[in-house]
Amino acid sequence: MTNPACAGPDLPPRHPGASGLFRALGLRIEVAHADRLPADGPVVVAANHQSFLDFAVVGLPGVERGRLVRFMAKESVFRSRLGGPLMRGMHHIPVDRRSGTAAAVLAHRALRAGEVVGVYPEATIGHAFALKDREDLRLGAAHLAIATGAPLVPVAHFGLHRVLTVGGRWSLRRGRWVGVVVGEPLHPLPGESAAGLTGRLHTALAALVEDLLDRYPDAPPDPATAWWWPAHRGGGAPGGAEAHRLDLLSVAHADGTLADNVVAQAKSLTPRRTRR
């Protein structure tokens, strides 16, 4: 079977399903600083993860620059009813989390061919709808940048999770605002470790996310009742230990193994009393 990620360099610029969905929902999408994405040469884009449709907006700065982003995503997404046709149609890279060797080879090949590869260092959608802690970020994006010499470009977004996200949350309400902002490229320093570069990436992404929250035009009048607004901003999204517990379970499910130690750790964080 031919891997869709092995398709030739002439990738389709978009999938009609994604653009059609956004038009139908009347999303107000604002992209800032797309010019920070290099116009040519290999690039690793690293983005925060909030919605099952993230890839469609994180790739927009590339569209403005005449470039296409080839995203790495868990292999099961390529088989899903909603996301599968989009991911296969745009020739993204499926990742088997039990053994990511094949995906890494494809990503290296794409970068050495001068393409843009997109990575989600958070791996799974965070239930807090805020950037996960530094120690929870995967090192893959940094490893790719260091191995190929490609700049690591942070891209943050906020708002699309109000359309479709974890916990069975979705809405077809029209006119929601979605902000996307591109950060300055991070170039690997001589001798820099993947952990060190990931630390710089976390700092950059966190600042971009906070900037989007500062200027979000549809901020809730009563934040505590808004499930989608981050807890550190007074919102109703899970925060602290509860968000961490939910994230642990998501990671275990995504890895397809629900390892006993992960489940035990998550259960140990379960609040004794159910919050009303």
The conformational region for residue 231 under phi > 0 = left, psi -120 to 50 = alpha, else beta, is alpha
The predicted pLDDT at position 218 comes to 94
Three-class secondary structure of residue 223 per DSSP: helix
C-alpha Rg value of the chain to the nearest Å: 18
Q: Report which residue type is found at 178.
A: V
The predicted pLDDT at position 94 comes to 81
The domain limits of the chain are 4-232, 238-276
CB count within 10 Å of CB 234 equals 13
Sign of the Cα pseudo-torsion (137, 138, 144, 146, in order): positive
The predicted pLDDT at position 80 comes to 75
Predicted TM-score (pTM) of the model is: 0.83
The predicted pLDDT at position 207 comes to 98
The predicted pLDDT at position 101 comes to 78
Structure tokens given for 241: 């230990």
Average pLDDT by stretches of 10, the chain with 276 residues:
38 49 86 98 98 90 93 78 72 73 87 95 94 95 96 98 90 93 98 98 99 96 97 96 89 56 41 36
What distance in Å separates the CA atoms of residue 13 and residue 250, rounded to the nearest whole number? Answer: 31
Q: Report which residue type is found at 229.
A: W
Structure tokens given for 1: 């079977």
Backbone angles phi, psi at 168, to 5 degrees: 70, 20
What stretches of the chain adopt beta strand conformation (E)? 28-32, 43-47, 69-74, 93-95, 116-119, 152-158, 177-182
The predicted pLDDT at position 73 comes to 79
CB count within 10 Å of CB 201 equals 25
The predicted pLDDT at position 167 comes to 84
CATH code matching the domain that covers 4-232, chosen among 3.40.1130.10, 2.40.30.10, 3.40.50.300, 3.30.565.10: 3.40.1130.10
Task: Measure the CA angle with vertex 159, ends 158 and 162; round to 5°.
Answer: 140
* Distances, alpha carbon 201 to alpha carbons 48, 166, 225, 239, 252, in Å: 11, 24, 31, 22, 24
The predicted pLDDT at position 99 comes to 61
